[in-house]
Amino acid sequence: MTDPEPSGVRMPDSTVEADLAGYRREGLIDPPATRDTEPHDGSGRVEMTFLPAERSVRVPPGVTVFDGASWNGIAIDSTCGGHGTCKKCKVQILSGAVPVGRLDARAFTPDQLRDGWRLACIAQATQNLRVHVPPLVTRPKAATVGVGRQVILRPAVQKRYVELDEPTLSDQRTDLARLTDAIDDLELQADLHALRRLPKVLREADYKVTAVVVDEMLIDVEAGDTTARQFGIAFDLGTTTVVATLLDLTTGTPVAVRSMLNRQQPFGGDVITRISATMMDPTALDRLGTAAHETLAELSAEVCAEGEVDPAEVYEIALAGNATMTALALGIDPEPLGVAPFVMTCATPPVVLASALGVSVHPGARAALFPALGAYVGGDIVAGILATGMDRDKRLRLFIDVGTNCEIVLGDGERILSTAAPAGPAFEGGAIRCGMRAAEGAIEVVKLGEDVELGVIGDTTPMGICGSGLVDVVAELVKIGLVDGTGRFVQDNEAKAAAPALADRLTMIGKERVFVLYRPDPTADPADSVYLSQRDIRELQFAKAAIATGWSLLLEEFGVEPRDVQQVLLAGSFGSYLSPAAAVRIGLVPRLPVLRIVSAGNVAGEGAKMALLSLRERAGAAALLEEVRYVELSDRSDFNDKFVDQLSFPT
């Protein structure tokens, strides 16, 4: 296979028009049905197969070959970032038709066009395509982020080093024109900060400068060649924990990661209490906004210090948060999110400067905030869908972000459904007698055999039980027969028969039956021990039934059985630490081989990193608003029956 000349063939406009007319007559512009086409299968998606890698991706009709390749981690040459100006993104359509576009006629000879050569960034797939991708001439870098996702680096931030001619009496172009003329593949505009710096920096640096551009906006000009220094910060703005990752945008690699508790904690542990705070106290909205900004500011200062990066070298931030966290950070009243019919002020937040979120980085740095699918399926879940490739992977996959509000997504790369299930605070340790957050001293792993084996965070004296410990202990108690399928502690005689070594740990504290996990010493008052009560088991049952009802209704809506699920992704700060075997045993996830249940990690943070590293991924997140269908559970007439069915433990 002979690749076309790297430079292509440039033709004058009149020739282009004449050739376009000719191509139209030949059927290259409006391809006839008899051409070697592969129509899509009615699923609403078309398939692009890239050679020689033989990798396929299913995309909505109209997606460009360039995007389809990018989404699949296939690198296509480009220096303009898909803007149609560099003409380096040459590919050959081997089967399926793509009409000749005006830019194609400028980039290729007539013979090349007849052989199927097209510019990938304008070639839209309206039917299945097989596409030959030539080896790279200019190799773009890619980074692996998310759950095994390869993302081709194409950040909104780009730096261009230029050496300009000094002005003369015969060349009195403005400073800005002198700079933008040298970067003619971008339609540059300049912000005021850049204009204020431009005259001084140009002259002090002998007209050898680096232009700092974000989305075609010149935000700064720096002396000399600073192209190697480009950074961004990805934030996962969680209700409980906030994580910041400083990324080197030239390589896609993380430079520093820090996390801390959200400073909004004093207003309440979950979104509802924080929304309530704004309804009861007119100053709370401001104070919650300030607390969010302080959290982001502190983390950004920490990652910059750790990564030895000047905050002024951070030119963009990305932020994924649930709808309430995003609204509060923007100072938008969250009250409508907390009361039926649960309406968001906007699905797609505006582009704001990072400084509007309290983050002190480059003054021209912007903040890219994730859009939300609904009041309870927010930008953090959109980021999670992006990071896990739920919209592209052809396997039937179930994504569960376990928390007070549990978000559930089911998809097979063609259809995606989502819902939210109110699981309550049990998984965060709330409403559990000895419950606590996953912090030092929390029991997070429990094994019951001849004795009780505990895994404690920080390897210290147990102080309480966190969510994963709660799921573990209940799963183990069901397994050894001390708790029956209805969630009830068995009678003493049954306990002695089922687990003689542990039966005496079943005891009474006050009027409540409990299972003692840890007692400081045998003489200590049982009330000072760490234990699991009958009521705690009930709380867990309600929480897991809410989640199981959510995924079972999504499966029903999808028309598939639980056994059809090929992978379950457990996400979120709690879900990621959950034991797959325990999750199966209590019925929190479908009854599947444990190898099909995987921890997805902090997918919201990964999605935020992807948005920073790739404009295409960011566009993919925006497209999810159209692709994901939200299923409201609360108005389902069968919700209560299903919920009751899910309360028991599988036996």
Nearer to ligand FES, 89 or 319 (CB): 89
Binding range to ligand FES, per CB under 6 A, among 87-95, 333-341, 488-496, 501-509: 87-95
Give the N- to C-terminal CA distance of the chain in Å, as an integer: 61
Nearer to ligand FES, 84 or 238 (CB): 84
Nearer to ligand FES, 86 or 217 (CB): 86
Closest CB 80 distance from ligand FES, rounded Å: 4
Nearer to ligand FES, 78 or 295 (CB): 78
Q: What is the dihedral of CA 101, 105, 108, 112, to 10 degrees?
A: 70
Closest CB 127 distance from ligand FES, rounded Å: 21
Nearer to ligand FES, 87 or 159 (CB): 87
Closest CA to 251 of 355, 372, 140: 140
Closest CA to 277 of 294, 289, 262, 293: 289
Binding range to ligand FES, per CB under 6 A, among 3-11, 81-89, 210-218, 419-427: 81-89
Structure-token pair, residue 605: 């943070």
C-alpha span between 420 and 400 (Å, rounded): 10
334 and 325 in contact (C-beta within 8 Å)?
no
Nearer to ligand FES, 78 or 180 (CB): 78
Draw the binding track, 382-421, toward ligand FES (x: CB under 6 A; -: no contact). Answer: ----------------------------------------
Nearer to ligand FES, 56 or 85 (CB): 85
Structure-token pair, residue 569: 């992704």
Using CB under 6 A, which of 89, 133, 249, 434 touches ligand FES? Answer: 89
Give CB contacts under 8 A, 24+ apart, made by 553-558. Answer: 553/419, 553/631, 553/633, 553/636, 553/638, 553/639, 553/642, 554/398, 554/408, 554/410, 554/417, 554/418, 554/419, 554/631, 555/398, 555/410, 555/590, 557/417, 557/631, 558/396, 558/410, 558/412, 558/415, 558/417
Closest CA to 219 of 240, 236, 195: 195
Q: What is the largest CA-CA distance in the chain?
A: 103
625 and 596 in contact (C-beta within 8 Å)?
no
82: contact with ligand FES by CB under 6 A: yes
C-alpha span between 277 and 229 (Å, rounded): 42
Provide the 10 A C-beta neighbour count for residue 60: 16
Closest CB 81 distance from ligand FES, rounded Å: 7
Closest CB 77 distance from ligand FES, rounded Å: 7
Closest CB 132 distance from ligand FES, rounded Å: 16
616: contact with ligand FES by CB under 6 A: no
516: contact with ligand FES by CB under 6 A: no
Nearer to ligand FES, 184 or 308 (CB): 184
Nearer to ligand FES, 185 or 206 (CB): 185
Q: Tokens 């809410």 label which residue?
A: 546
Closest CB 4 distance from ligand FES, rounded Å: 14
Closest CB 66 distance from ligand FES, rounded Å: 6
Nearer to ligand FES, 153 or 272 (CB): 153
Closest CB 121 distance from ligand FES, rounded Å: 3
Instruction: Give the 3-state secondary structure of residue 610.
Output: helix
Using CB under 6 A, which of 86, 223, 255, 480 touches ligand FES? Answer: 86
The dihedral of CA 159, 165, 167, 172: what is its sign? negative
Q: In this structure, are strands 567-571 and 397-401 parallel, antiparallel, or unpaired?
A: parallel
Using CB under 6 A, which of 45, 58, 87, 159 touches ligand FES? Answer: 87
Nearer to ligand FES, 120 or 398 (CB): 120
Binding range to ligand FES, per CB under 6 A, among 7-15, 80-88, 147-155, 343-351: 80-88
Nearer to ligand FES, 154 or 293 (CB): 154
Which DSSP symbol is given to 543? Answer: H
Q: Is residue 564 classed exposed, middle or buried when 0-12, 13-18 and 19+ CB atoms within 10 A define those classes? A: middle
Closest CB 84 distance from ligand FES, rounded Å: 5
Using CB under 6 A, which of 9, 11, 51, 80 touches ligand FES? Answer: 80
Closest CA to 230 of 148, 160, 146: 160
Closest CB 13 distance from ligand FES, rounded Å: 18
Where does residue 481 fall: left (phi above 0), alpha (psi -120 to 50 degrees), or beta otherwise?
Answer: left
Distance (Å) of CA 172 to CA 167, 190, 201: 6, 19, 18
Closest CB 160 distance from ligand FES, rounded Å: 15
The length of the chain in residues reads: 651
E-strand spans in 423-501? 442-448, 452-456, 464-465
Nearer to ligand FES, 125 or 624 (CB): 125
Stretch 39-78 residues interacting with ligand FES (CB under 6 A): 66, 78
Using CB under 6 A, which of 45, 88, 263, 609 touches ligand FES? Answer: 88
311: contact with ligand FES by CB under 6 A: no
Single-letter amino acid, residue 433: R
Draw the binding track, 106-135, toward ligand FES (x: CB under 6 A; -: no contact). Answer: -------------x-x--------------
Q: φ and ψ at 172, to 5 degrees? A: -105, 30
C-alpha span between 273 and 481 (Å, rounded): 38
Binding range to ligand FES, per CB under 6 A, among 86-94, 209-217, 354-362, 398-406: 86-94
Residues near ligand FES (CB under 6 A), total: 12
Stretch 291-310 residues interacting with ligand FES (CB under 6 A): none
391 and 70 in contact (C-beta within 8 Å)?
no
Nearer to ligand FES, 121 or 317 (CB): 121
85: contact with ligand FES by CB under 6 A: yes
Nearer to ligand FES, 69 or 390 (CB): 69
Binding site for ligand FES (CB under 6 A): 66, 78, 80, 82, 84-89, 119, 121
